Amino acid sequence: MSVFLSLRTARTLCTTTTTTVAGTGTAAASSLQKQQHILERVKQERDPEKLYLLFKANTHNRVLLENRFAYQDAVSRLAGARRFDLVERLLEDQATLPHCRRRQAFLARLILLYGHAGMPDHALRAFRRLPSPPPTKSFNATLTALALCRRFDDLLMFFYEVPSSLGLSPDLFSYNILIKALCDMGALDSAFLLLADMEKHAELSPDVVSYTTLLSAFYKSGNGKMADAIWNRMVIKGVRPNVATFNVRIQYLINRRKNWQARNMMRKMVSMGLRPDDATYNLIIKGFCVVGNLEMAKKYFFGMANFGYKPNSRIYQTMIHYLCGEGGELGLAFTLCKESMARNWFPNVNTIYKLLDGLASDPENGERVKEIIEMVRKRAPSYSVQELKAFQTYLTRYGAK
């Protein structure tokens, strides 16, 4: 009898323990789900005041706190609404939290967010509040914030005066920001001299980002010879080009309608073991579209799947736009437009209108026009009132609500 009772007690304890563990697991999953739900609410909220209050009410939500994209998106939207007061309140609220105040990475992110909001003076003030000597990461964040706001004179002064006064040492990342700033200022010769000086110091030896930044600037300026010289210099120094480096060169060739040379450059990239990315394909496809070679554009578009890629919104936009042009294929443009919209990738208003005009020129395409208009009407988030005016003729003619 005692053995029976012992077994029953053991079973009861085991069941209770299992139930407790399961209950704990369910509660934890539910809690995580609630924390993750806030990201969707933040994404959808359009009222600046309510957006700020959402963040204020969730200061201890780790999912939100660690999501830099949510913060950057929110700050950009608040700045776009000219609510710089809410940007400041949002970021300063976070900076006062104990678990944020002690983290260098978070404080650097705060400085950077001020840059994205177009508030460089706030970024500088946030940097000056840091204990001395401040971490190089925060120094770099401040440089980036000034660059984002195009405060180049302040950036140069900050770069050359702050390190010696506060006892910190700029690193390679700092110098790469400076190279980019000089390029954006149009001071390409100064950027090149800086890179040449960096090559003399092993601890600051330029990397692929340094060379690619300078390459891009010289190609954009139309100085292809200097850019090619920098490419050769990079190779001689033993720095291996990456996908971004190749894309910069492909872009230059495409801009000069040297499509076949661009294609060969893409093949060279592959021969070096580098996989072309979405940007590469978009450049090659657009290049062939621009010169009217839609057959080659279609070949690369439909061939992407063979290399494990799927076209993104930009590639769909490019294909649809040019297929609606002279000598294009409206049937294929219609199919691709539907595919793109089904993924919530809506081509720009001009391209859709161009497609509708083309389809409407043939009475047999009435149903196709209706399908496109219905998808336009159901878009979420909806088009602006101004954008919808462009479709008004078709919205009226085809009875869309």
Q: What is the DSSP string of 209-277?
A: HHHHHHHHHHHHTT-HHHHHHHHHHHHHTTPPP-HHHHHHHHHHHHHTT-HHHHHHHHHHHHHTTPPP-
Domain shared by 375 and 266, yes or no: no
Site of tokens 């069941």:
15
Spatial CA neighbour of 105 closest among 74, 133, 141: 141
Q: Is the pLDDT of residue 98 over 70?
A: no
Domain shared by 303 and 370, yes or no: no
* Domain final residue, candidates 283, 311, 339: 311
Residue 287 falls inside a structural domain: yes
Residue 11 falls inside a structural domain: no
Domain shared by 255 and 285, yes or no: yes
Domain shared by 156 and 43, yes or no: yes
Share of the chain above pLDDT 70, in %: 87
Mean pLDDT computed over 182-208: 94
Residue 4 falls inside a structural domain: no
* Domain final residue, candidates 189, 212, 240: 240
Residue 13 falls inside a structural domain: no
pTM, 2 dp: 0.79
Domain shared by 46 and 155, yes or no: yes
How many domains, in total, are found in the chain? 4
Query: What distance in Å separates the CA atoms of residue 127 and residue 111, rounded to the nearest whole number?
Result: 7
Helix, strand and coil content of the chain, in percent to the nearest 5, comes to 75, 0, 25
Share of the chain above pLDDT 90, in %: 54
Residue 18 falls inside a structural domain: no
User: CA triplet 333, 334, 336: central angle to 5 degrees?
Assistant: 65
Spatial CA neighbour of 10 closest among 24, 25, 26, 2: 2
Q: What is the pLDDT of residue 92?
A: 84
Residue 364 falls inside a structural domain: yes
Domain shared by 253 and 364, yes or no: no
Q: What is the pLDDT of residue 15?
A: 53
Domain shared by 128 and 201, yes or no: no
Q: Is the pLDDT of residue 24 over 90?
A: no
Residue 273 falls inside a structural domain: yes
Domain shared by 365 and 338, yes or no: yes
Q: Which is higher by pLDDT, 58 or 398?
A: 58
Q: Is the pLDDT of residue 373 over 80?
A: yes
Mean pLDDT computed over 347-353: 90
Instruction: Tell me the residue range of the domain where 384 lies.
Output: 322-401
Residue 343 falls inside a structural domain: yes
Least confident of 7-21, 61-75, 120-134, 377-391: 7-21
Q: Is the pLDDT of residue 4 over 50?
A: no
Mean pLDDT computed over 50-60: 81
Domain shared by 45 and 91, yes or no: yes
Q: What is the pLDDT of residue 167?
A: 87
Q: What is the pLDDT of residue 34?
A: 53
